[in-house]
Amino acid sequence: MTNAPPTTASHRPALMLGLATLGFAVNFWAWALLSPLGPRFKELLGLTAAQQALVVAVPVIVGSLGRIPVGALTDRFGGRVMFPLISAATIVPVLFIGVAGQTSLAALLAGGFFLGIGGTVFAVGVPFVSAWFPPHRRGLAVGIFGAGMGGTAISALTTVPLVRTSGAAVPFLLTAVVLAVYAVVAWLVLRDAPGRTVATQPLTARMAATLKLSITWQACVLYAVAFGGYVAFSVYLPAYLQTGYGLEQADAANRMAGFVLLAVLARPVGGWLSDRIGPVPVLAGVFLLIAVMAGVQALTPGLMPVGTIAFLSMAAALGAGSGATFALVARVAPADKVGSVTGLVGAAGGLGGFVPPLLMGFLYGQLGSYGLGLALLAITAVTLVVMTVTAVRALTAGLAHAR
C-alpha cells in the first residue's frame, strides 16, 4: 500500500533528518579509520604497497557492496531498526582492531572486512529520510543527509594525532564509545515516518524487481561518475598535485581537504536545486561543467589560478551531482523500493572511485602525463550529459505523465 507523505508542519522531520545525518557521519568516521593509518601499518608490519592498499580497500569494498542487502532490509524493517543495528554491529570490529587487530596483516584484513558494515549505513538513511518529507522537499533533505559523508574527514583529521599522543587503541576506543551512544539514542528517539510504505515481497523477489527498473541503472551510472569521481579525487589528488605540480605533501593534503569540503557542502545544494528546477537540469549542468573543467585541466595549466579554479569547480559539480542523483532516486523510485535502489546506486558510487586512481597511475607511468586521464573524464561527462537530457529526461517525463 502507498500512503501520502507525512506533513512537515511539526519539528519531527527535522529532528529525524538531523539524527540520521549524525548517524551517517559517525558510522563513516568508523568506516574510514584504517585509511589514515595505512603508512603506519606498512612500517610496523613490513607490508608491501599492495598489502597496504588492500588493508585500506577491504572496508571500502565491503561497505559499498554491503549497501545492496542493507538497502533492501531497510525497505522491510525501516531506519528505526537499521540505524541502531548497523551502529551497534560496527562497534565489534572497531574494538577488535583497536585492542587486538593491529598485530598482523590477517587480523587487519579480518577487522577491516567487518568494519565495512559501517559503510552500509548510507543505504539506510536515504529511504528513511525520503519517507519523512514530501516529494518537493526530498532533494534538499537527502542532500543534507548526504553531507554526513564528511564523517570521513573526522577520521582523517583525528586518527593519526590521537595515535601519536595517546596510543594506537585510543581512536578506536573513542569511536566505539560514540557509536554506542548513538545506537542508544537512535533506538530511543528515531521513528519511521507515519504511513511509511513497507516492502512485503521476499528479499530476492524485491531485488530482482529493482534490477528491472530503469531508474536503478541510470542512477547507478550517474552516481558512479559523480560520487565515484569525488572518491577518486579525494584519494588521488594529493599524489597528482605532488607529482604534477611539485607540491609538498602537507600543501597537497590541505588542498585535497579543501576539495573534499567544497564537495560535501555542494551536495545539499544539488538536492535543493533539484527541488526547485528538477534533477534533470541540475545533472545536465553539473556534468557539462565537469566536462569543461576536466578538459581544461587535461592541458595541465598553471595551478594558480586556472588549475585551482578547475579543480574547485569539479569539486562543487561532483558534490552537487551526487545530491541531484539521489534527489532523482527519491522522486522517481517506487516508495517500497527506495532502499533497494539506494543500495545498488550507493554500491556503484563506492566502487566507481576505484578505477580512476588506478587508471591515472597507469597512464602517468606510460605517458608521463595525467592529461589523457582527465580527457577521458571529460569525454565520460559529455556522454552523461547526453544520457541525462535523453534517457533520464524521458523517464522522469513518463512517470510525471503516468501520475
pLDDT of 400: 59
Alpha helix (H) ranges present in 116-196?
122-132, 135-146, 151-166, 170-189
Domains 1-200 and 214-332+354-403 share a fold: yes
Q: How many CB atoms lie within 10 A of CB 323?
A: 33
Domain boundaries, the chain: 1-200, 214-332+354-403
Q: At 255, phi and psi to the nearest 5? A: -65, -35
**Strand ranges for 17-112 from DSSP E:** none
For 296, residues 6+ apart whose C-beta sits below 8 A from its C-beta are 306, 310
What are the distances in angstroms from CA 24 to CA 21, 71, 78, 216?
5, 14, 15, 22
pLDDT of 402: 58
pLDDT of 10: 61
C-alpha–C-alpha distance, residues 268 and 288, integer Å: 19
Spell out the CATH class of 214-332+354-403. Answer: mainly alpha
pLDDT along the chain (403 residues), means of 10: 46 94 96 88 87 86 93 94 98 96 95 95 94 92 92 86 93 97 98 90 88 95 94 83 86 85 94 96 98 96 95 97 95 92 94 84 87 95 98 85 57
pLDDT of 401: 58
Grid cell for residue 346:
550507493
CATH label, 1-200, candidates 3.40.50.300, 3.65.10.10, 3.40.50.150, 1.20.1250.20: 1.20.1250.20
What are the distances in angstroms from CA 170 to CA 117, 118, 163, 217, 300?
21, 19, 7, 42, 42
